[in-house]
Amino acid sequence: MTILFCGDPHGRFDHIIQAAREHDASVVLLGDLQPIRPLSIELADIAQQVWFIHGNHDTDSERDFVNVFEDDLADRSLHGRVITFPDGTRVAGLGGVFRAAVWDPSARTEPSYRSRDDLTRATAPSSRCRGGPPRTHWSTIFPGEIDRLSKLRADVLVTHEAGAAHPLGVGVLDDLARAMGVHTVFHGHHHDSIDYSDKWDIQGFRSFGVGLGGILDLSGRDIVPGELDHIRRFRRR
């Protein structure tokens, strides 16, 4: 069984279900799922083939939050852990985005909070969500999450945010990938597919951005082109 990596679906899953069936594949969703119905209902036909990380938009509303974080498929989240897939590939996940109120690695400043628990303790009870931080920060990346992942080993790392090869990316994710010893990284979030191949030797791993609704296989081959790929595919100079 192969593995397919799926760019931000934003509530559209028919093409993912079709690809999973046609290729007899496991699928990894790269965040911003935003299912209209609970994720387990949207993906009922391929539930045992699905893994995912969350994106920033998965905490936009109460419905978004409930349909992802409190769904029956919540245990299929890759965030913060490594899962060995049927073909033996070890895949690690880091969902969410960096937010300056918690940590902005590009600013080279110390984080305000190292963990979700730290932020929860600093949050008034009336502003907490499910006993944790405000809902938005359930999709925020905390330094402690990266610290824990960096001690694990994997073959592939999937993130919502992009690494430094992307014009809007963050170098700390490249550091994480190297610490984990991965050979390939896939990210979503930016809705574009960029040719990073001229950066691979410097990075020490292959990296791929997956376009809006796009699907790549483990080699980086297009299975379904992203919707914006035809106008936003470019090489970063």
Which residues have a Cβ under 8 Å from the Cβ of 233 and sit 6 or more positions away? 192, 193, 194, 195, 211
Query: pLDDT at position 195, please?
Result: 87
User: What pTM value is reported for the model?
Assistant: 0.95
Q: According to the model, what pLDDT value does residue 228 have?
A: 63
pLDDT the model gives residue 109: 86
3-235: CATH class: alpha beta
Query: Model confidence over 194-210: pLDDT tens digits?
Result: 889 999 999 999 999 99
pLDDT tens per residue across span 148-205: 999 999 999 999 999 999 999 999 999 999 999 999 999 999 998 888 999 999 999 9
DSSP letters, 144-198, are HHHHHHHTS--SEEEESS--TTSTT--HHHHHHHHHHT-SEEEE-SS---EE-GG
- Low-confidence residues of the chain: pLDDT under 50: 230-237
Amino acid at residue number 224? V
